[in-house]
Structure 1
């Protein structure tokens, strides 16, 4: 398949913004068009480290953002055409010290596909909560947690 994972660069932002917007429109149908903006990614990732997955043709087909200090994965989005092709796993494995550093993330309880993906990648449920009426799982993965 020829996926390259690398740190995001300035020229990647237009593609990442479009991917973020399209993915959220598809995955979170309860959000209205007015609630979703092309610039949401810029606002939501200030100070975060971001890596992109690029296909053999140079197209950005996914990205992951990390709050490095907290080892918290904030966003992981993959273009629909690239689901179940190893892109998400490659992005996770690109994180600093992936094999030795614990990581956490939140996954909406209603997002069955994402939850199944994270569990397959070794994440476990370690907590739960709710935000704006949407229940989520706190998932963790790391040397003491991984199966």
Structure 2
């Protein structure tokens, strides 16, 4: 089945396009310009994210990013953190997120991770639940003082996606 996109590792040349993608995707949840301005610095894709973490993107046939996902490692060697996950609003519902998660799960298995955590946007919490994550608490927002986000976790069992 032709999905119209491919998955590849992000490169430093992708930073600007990925930042634009993250902003478009976040704003598609109905956030106003003032809210987005408060999130802009947190959503800006940095070179270090690509150099130091596992960062993948989905690209369309023209090479434009239509989704991205980033996994970092905790010092304990057993825990990963899903740091970035966005899909272009036009591409939502077309299995881009699922394909990106397949890359994430494959990498998590190869690293021998036991769990993956994330601080979810409230609008994305149902999507992450479909991907196998459970809400385990609340975390402070990195952008908005006083705002909290769902803290979610996926337990990986025997190198497999767990529920």
Pair 1:106-2:111 in alignment: no
Query: In angstroms, what is the RMSD of aligned CA positions?
Result: 2.8
Pair 1:77-2:91 in alignment: no
Q: 2:155 aligns with which of 138, 142, 145?
A: 142
1:18 deviation in Å? 1.3
Pair 1:42-2:46 in alignment: yes
Counterpart of 2:60 in structure 1 is 55
1:104 deviation in Å? 1.0
Counterpart of 1:122 in structure 2 is 132
- Inter-partner Cα distance in structure 2 for 1:6 and 1:87: 12
TM-score for both structures, normalised by structure 1: 0.80
Which has a greater percent of helix?
2
Please tell me whether the aligned partners of residues 12 and 47 of structure 2 are also in contact (alpha carbons under 8 angstroms).
no
Q: Structure 1 residues 135 and 56 mapped into 2: Cα distance closer, same or farther (>3 Å)?
A: same
Please tell me whether the aligned partners of residues 126 and 140 of structure 1 are also in contact (alpha carbons under 8 angstroms).
yes
Output aligned runs, 1:19-38, within 5 Å: 19-27=21-29, 28-29=31-32, 31=35, 33=37, 36=40
- What is the aligned residue count? 144
- Inter-partner Cα distance in structure 2 for 1:35 and 1:136: 13
Unaligned runs of 5+ in 1: none
Please tell me whether the aligned partners of residues 92 and 98 of structure 1 are also in contact (alpha carbons under 8 angstroms).
no
1:22 deviation in Å? 2.3
TM-score for both structures, normalised by structure 2: 0.73
